[in-house]
Chains A and B, each alone.
Chain A
């Protein structure tokens, strides 16, 4: 793999995303919402010098959970399918550049773009917090941003997997939006339904929740932001007691890493190593 080619593709993707109206709109929305939210919440974020895992943190997690998976999935899903559909991929491939270079460059370029917008949103919110005199522990805030970045990477790689197997960008987008719904609502709803109907035990609920990268992100950020884990109920306590604080954190990080590596690896293999009939 020639990293000069990868770098060229990274630059192209980064550049394209600023020209992408949807991407810019998304970044503005995310930043504005984060700002608004923290301004509203920080007005009573402290009493007598104490603040807690209040609505601010919860809303921030919620915002991340709604926005980042959507943009990451859709961006990923469009990435290759779109170029395949309008022929630019085939044209690009007639040049001395390999599919692995294209795949890698595109992934890194898009990931950087999403990371930039996450950093922008978090940064603006952080400025708002510190001006209002709230904040407190910067390391927790940074950790949440890092977790969001990891979440973005995992869903972007799921998006790439969709993209590799789609000939049409519209279809890929449709699948991405459906998966987004599955990740943030339908999947959890299914676990909740089964818990009520089949009386699932603590362990089963925990294992099922681990299959959802957004849920894993949420548990990890609660673990980061809150000194106590009981906010997640008996399942949280079980996880905490079984693995310990650090153990659990690393477990969650590894699940998220798997959510990056497996879809991405599979997408990479099918796109650039196992040759497929057509592009």
Chain B
């Protein structure tokens, strides 16, 4: 559905996207993972045809440079921070609906889908972040286009709105839409994507399934446990017995380096050994540390 060949975008001397090539199959959910400034948004804008670039991008076999408009008609796009005109919700939907040539029934259907029916006469500036994102999602769905492109769709949302939106995206994915989205959160990628790639400084440094990605990148999760001083030695023994070796001690706090999936296991072992855990938390790996890891060790 989406074929990208050596897409390159320079801003002056700065290479925002550097010879990126990949393909997304129809019905597939594809994630672009990377820290801020990796070139994710630039790449997405290239695919949308709102930025000029070198190389080739095809959508459903249409060269987007030649068939910009037809290609764009295939895409529903949800930007990172949607910017609407100073209109009411329904006016915004009507405006984009008329560009997409959809009828009133479709607009009502979309309103229903994204749950904005009660807010139709509210000005878009009065909508909350979550509602704005849902409106922009609704606009992306207007013409029922086969491809959904989302640029960090959850980055400005609270936990509840985020989960809400992710469910909605998942729903459309299962209904057969091709989904391409960017993110800097591993959990989102694991939740949604069939395949993912990691970008850094405009380059693809890794392309894989989210499962593998989790394995490779999960190494860096850290479990911090607070224990009474008396239990520390016992705890260390228990952990060593179970094969957790990367442990550091800081006062009465233990920090265990482990993979993403071993977090609960480690905790459970300690609890089974009746060690009184006073408090714990999991430190997820930062995108930057993942990048370092990948670059040093490869896959």
Contact = CB atoms under 8 A, between A and B. Distances in A.
Which of under 10, 10 to 19, 20 to 34, or 35 or more describes the interface residues of A? Answer: 20 to 34
A97 B77 CA distance: 14
A97 B49 CA distance: 11
A3 interface: no
A8 B50 contact: no
Given A8-B95, A12-B95, A16-B85, A96 B100 contact: yes
B118 interface: no
A122 B101 CA distance: 38
Contacts of A12: 85, 95
Interface string B73-116: 10101010111111000000001101111000000000000000
Interface stretch (A39-47, A195-203, A215-223, A271-279): A271-279
A97 B83 CA distance: 17
Given A5-B99, A87-B81, A275-B52, A96 B69 contact: yes
Nearest to B85: A88
A8 B98 contact: yes
B77 to A, nearest CB: 4
B187 interface: no
A8 B92 CA distance: 12
Given A94-B75, A95-B99, A19 B52 contact: no
Contacts of B96: 95
Nearest to B69: A96
B166 interface: no
Contacts of B269: none
Nearest to A85: B83
Which of under 10, 10 to 19, 20 to 34, or 35 or more describes the interface residues of B? Answer: 20 to 34
Given A87-B83, A94-B77, A279 B99 contact: no
Interface string B187-222: 000000000000000000000000000000000000
A95 B83 contact: no
A90 B95 contact: no
B83 A88 contact: yes
Interface string A5-34: 100100010001001000000000000000
Nearest to A20: B86
A90 B86 contact: no
A88 B83 CA distance: 5
A8 B101 CA distance: 11
B48 interface: yes
Interface in B48-75: 48-52, 68-70, 72-73, 75
Nearest to B12: A277
A95 B72 contact: yes
B99 A94 contact: no
B79 A96 contact: no
A170 interface: no
B142 to A, nearest CB: 9
Contacts of B95: 8, 12
B100 A277 contact: no
B19 interface: no
A51 interface: no
A98 B49 CA distance: 10
Given A96-B69, A98-B68, A277-B52, A8 B99 contact: yes
A143 interface: no
A93 interface: yes
B45 interface: yes
A4 B83 CA distance: 23
Nearest to B80: A87
A276 B53 CA distance: 10
Contacts of B75: 94
A50 interface: no
A86 B101 CA distance: 25
Given A88-B83, A88-B84, A93 B98 contact: no
Given A12-B95, A94-B49, 16 more contacts: A5-B99, A8-B95, A8-B99, A87-B81, A87-B83, A88-B83, A90-B50, A91-B83, A93-B48, A93-B50, A94-B79, A95-B72, A95-B100, A97-B69, A97-B99, A98-B69
16 contacts: A4-B98, A8-B95, A8-B98, A86-B83, A87-B79, A87-B83, A88-B85, A90-B79, A91-B82, A93-B49, A94-B48, A94-B79, A95-B100, A277-B11, A278-B51, A279-B51
Closest 6 CB pairs of A and B: A87-B83, A96-B73, A94-B77, A96-B72, A275-B52, A93-B50
Interface of B: 11, 45, 48-52, 68-70, 72-73, 75, 77, 79, 81-86, 95-96, 98-101
Interface of A: 2, 4-5, 8, 12, 16, 19, 86-88, 90-91, 93-98, 275-279
